[in-house]
Amino acid sequence: MSTAQSVDDQLAESFKQLVKKRPIEKITIKEITSLAGVIRPTFYNHFQDKYELLEWIIRRDVVEPIYPMVGKSRSDEALAMIYEALLKDAEFYSRARKLEGQNSFESIVYKCMEDALIRAVDERDPKEELEQLPMRDIIRYYARSMCFFILNWIDEGMKRSPEEMVKLYRFVRDHSFEDVLKMLGGQK
């Protein structure tokens, strides 16, 4: 492990410990660096602010491990890995979820999901019938839907298993609202 990676990991672990005790908004860079055993300027050599550190943690722990599967017909497995990673550090992610405002947890998770899907699309050659579609909008739709399920799951206390969440997402992904209405049967 390189020294830079080691410092990133130290800062991340320090930040995670602090988040488990206090709201992110109240945590200072000085507290993160003190707990990590580095000086304050070192933080700024690695991250712009604590929100960039949070994004780095989400990318490292949740998103990067799924890259080999995204876009390779292993999306259910990748989605299960996302839920398992979040569950592995449930206390941290439950507390981080409370982060609102300009650098909200929701906006960071959405950006990470969008980037993962963009990467999957960029690795492929578009079929002729898809060339006319606004791929950016399609990517945003799927990133938003993934983000919606992740955030609701966290908000509900992560009670459903990762497998149940994958099954739920797969159902919504594979069925239109009209399909759901047909499944429900006649009107009341």
Q: Does 19 have pLDDT greater than 70?
A: yes
Q: Are residues 74 and 16 in the same domain?
A: no
Q: Are residues 118 and 103 in the same domain?
A: yes
pLDDT > 70: percent of the chain? 89
CATH of the domain at 43: 1.10.10.60
Q: Are residues 56 and 26 in the same domain?
A: no
Q: Are residues 154 and 88 in the same domain?
A: yes
In a domain, residue 188? The reply is: no
Give the angle subtended at the CA of 106 by the CAs of 24 and 44, to the nearest 5°: 45
Q: Are residues 54 and 38 in the same domain?
A: no
Query: At 128, is the pLDDT very low, low, confident or very high (cuts 50, 70, 90)?
Result: low
Q: Which of 20, 164, 9 is nearest to 96 (CA)?
A: 20
In a domain, residue 32? The reply is: yes
Residue 157 CA to chain centroid, in angstroms?
16
Q: Does 126 have pLDDT greater than 70?
A: no
**pTM of the predicted model as reported, rounded to 2 decimal places:** 0.88
Q: Does 175 have pLDDT greater than 70?
A: yes
Q: Which of 168, 158, 170 is nearest to 86 (CA)?
A: 158
Instruction: State mean pLDDT over 98-106.
Output: 94
Q: Are residues 71 and 33 in the same domain?
A: no
In a domain, residue 156? The reply is: yes
> How many domains are there within the chain?
2
Range(s) of the domain holding residue 35? 1-47
